[in-house]
Amino acid sequence: VAHKLLEGSLLEEARRGSREALAELLSTDLPWLTSALAEEADRSMKAHVGSKVYYRGLLEFSNHCTSDCLYCGIRAGNTEVERYTLDRDRVMRAVAACIDEGYGSLTLQSGERRDPAFVEYVCSLLREIKEMSRSDDLPEGLGITLCVGEQDEAVYRRFFAAGAHRYLLRIESGSPELFASMHPESQSFEARLSALRSLRRVGFQVGTGVMIGLPGQSAEDLADDILFFRREGIDMIGMGPYIPHAQTPMGSGDRLTPAERHRRLRLSLRMIALTRIVLCDVNIAATTALQALDPLGREMALAAGANVVMPILTPGEVRAQYTLYNGKPCTDEDAGTCTVCISRRVASTSRRAGYNEWGDSPHFAERMRQAGAPA
């Protein structure tokens, strides 16, 4: 690997999308290789999306969910979770904090519900957030990413019309077999893929992501995930290590050893770096799950090609009820603490933050240009 990497041939093959080269780089767990890929990804990031870090204030506004994903701490079947939905006033207070901090963009996230009352509530929030956030600094208001699961295309159209322009829907694994192993029979890979394609048709900037280090997942599966992102024309990537949750069918009895935590962190960093190297102009988030494996996990992701961070705006009193995996960081903090912490983290990487900017994915702009539509 060292010889082929020094020659540049392995990296070139990976850049061109060779499954074998990607799998070889992903499966070679050597610290110098992880660093070399991060450096290459950093060069690619600066060339294609610039060096700024963009914020998406993350508001987890409800943990009600009708789905039962086998890995997720807020799955419908987990009766130990105290359920909440933030009312309009608490949502708007968090939105005001997002504006005050100059984050420029907001991510509204919840469990999956498809009932009309929920859809209408989300639409009303979107309209109000758009209206209240317009200012001289942000003439178009906050950029809004929605993350509320699989919905009908007609519902996606309503969300888009109400003001959301990005949508995050994780495929969790590009392998239909792995997807099936993590979800009940009522959820299918085909339906998730079809939802991603609906989002694209509606006009959203489309985000997806996978879990890294899943039981039974091979380096080839992860290589296929990167190629899946490319094939589906994904604009934004949010992915992180798989971390078990004890109150789930997949996670009960599964404990991460310190050695496995480090291995999974390095694998996640190689995955982020290679995604940047292959996809070039997408936005990639440094996810909180990385910080659950190492206190500096998010900084490491920023040094390996990531360009988005998501400070949590969820009110402190409900944060602990939104734990998708065990050991989620920041659950005993509030929005103010997160702001100071995240600013320090970004400053420590010597990167500039894109305050009051949407920081949209250049990949989306290029996709629109090729389609002959205004971005």
Residues that bind ligand SF4 (CB under 6 A): 65, 67, 69, 72, 74-75, 111-112, 149
Nearer to ligand SF4, 77 or 141 (CB): 77
Helix, strand, coil percentages for the chain (3-state, nearest 5): 45, 10, 40
What phi and psi values does residue 149 have, to the nearest 5 degrees?
85, -170
Residue 75 and residue 342 in contact, taking contact as beta carbons nearer than 8 Å: no
Q: How far is the CB of 117 from ligand SF4 (least distance, A)?
A: 18
Nearer to ligand SF4, 21 or 211 (CB): 211
Q: How far is the CB of 200 from ligand SF4 (least distance, A)?
A: 20
* The two structure tokens encoding residue 54: 């963009």
Q: How far is the CB of 357 from ligand SF4 (least distance, A)?
A: 29
- Cα–chain-centroid distance for residue 198? 19
List, in sequence order, every residue forming a beta bridge with 108; answer none if it has no partner. Answer: 59, 146
Q: How far is the CB of 69 from ligand SF4 (least distance, A)?
A: 3
Integer angstrom CA distances of residue 275 from 3, 22, 89, 269, 270: 22, 10, 39, 10, 8
Nearer to ligand SF4, 75 or 264 (CB): 75
Alpha-carbon distance 343 to 368, whole Å? 32
Residue 310 and residue 285 in contact, taking contact as beta carbons nearer than 8 Å: yes
Nearer to ligand SF4, 21 or 289 (CB): 289
Nearer to ligand SF4, 195 or 279 (CB): 195
Nearer to ligand SF4, 111 or 240 (CB): 111
Residue 156 and residue 167 in contact, taking contact as beta carbons nearer than 8 Å: yes
* The two structure tokens encoding residue 322: 């939104």
Q: How far is the CB of 75 from ligand SF4 (least distance, A)?
A: 4
Q: How far is the CB of 29 from ligand SF4 (least distance, A)?
A: 28
